[in-house]
Chains A and B, each alone.
Chain A
């Protein structure tokens, strides 16, 4: 009996807070995507030749969890198979957030282009589905810039997104 109550409470909590945090996250993603629109991120491996650039590796990662309710719904869908709609926003949020962190770093370095962007997604253990998304690419900086850009990213939600300190 107590188990059943606990389960119902977890489901309710997951549903309520999960919806809330997802909505908030999407609002933040959409706002920051607009702000960072001038930064071009492409998958091409071939930067324009003829010009000199300084290249810096930019990396963005994020760990996002689905919630208890969505994981439960997904486990039900799994029985019958088919499209698991409750996980789609999770992956979408993870990818967009990771890319935004890459863009924020590029912006902090003063770069307007990021080349050869790669994504990587991995599952993190636990009862509730949790994923990590990593995005990385090469930011091209004008080589005439002599001042070392501040190693600081403009993220308002995260402190861990400082660039890997490997600027040459």
Chain B
């Protein structure tokens, strides 16, 4: 599965366009981590707990994106975009979407 934020693949041609595929994930950290992050934020600097949380969440969303693309027999996803919205304090929704296509090498 090729995943790219570009609109085309150099050296390859799009043979079929299969429509939009998407993946999302909502996560929140457990209370302990939230309290620690709250304390840490007084002093400023990176909140590693939240960075990890959002990174994992994004990985999961991408995993779901790939699953959906596989189920419609795509072999590439073009023009991938991320979007984040915070739903409540400490919980965020990660949304990722792109165009599922079938590509083949240019002969």
Chain A residue at smallest Cβ distance from B61? A164
* CB proximity of A35 to chain B, nearest CB, Å: 19
- Classify the interface of chain B: helix, strand, loop or mixed: mixed
Q: Are A63 and B42 CB-contacts (below 8 A) given A45-B6, A47-B10?
A: no
Complex CA–CA separation, A125 to B91 (angstroms): 9
Contact indicator B44/A21 (Cβ below 8 Å): yes
Mask of A127-161 contacts with B, CB within 8 angstroms, 1/0: 11010101011100001000000000000011111
Q: Are A61 and B54 CB-contacts (below 8 A) given A68-B42, A70-B44, A128-B41?
A: yes
Contact indicator A164/B62 (Cβ below 8 Å): yes
B contact residues, range? 35 or more
Q: Does B73 contact A (CB under 8 A)?
A: no
* CB proximity of A127 to chain B, nearest CB, Å: 8
* Chain A residues closer than 8 Å to B82, beta-carbon distance: 59, 118, 120, 134, 136
Residue from A45, A50, A63, A65 in contact with B7 in the complex, judged by beta carbons closer than 8 Å: A45
* Chain A residues closer than 8 Å to B90, beta-carbon distance: 124-125
Residue from A55, A126, A132, A166 in contact with B89 in the complex, judged by beta carbons closer than 8 Å: A126
* Chain A residues closer than 8 Å to B83, beta-carbon distance: 120
Q: Which residues of B contact A (CB under 8 A)?
A: 1-7, 9-11, 37-38, 40-48, 50-52, 54-56, 58-59, 62, 66, 80-86, 88-90, 92
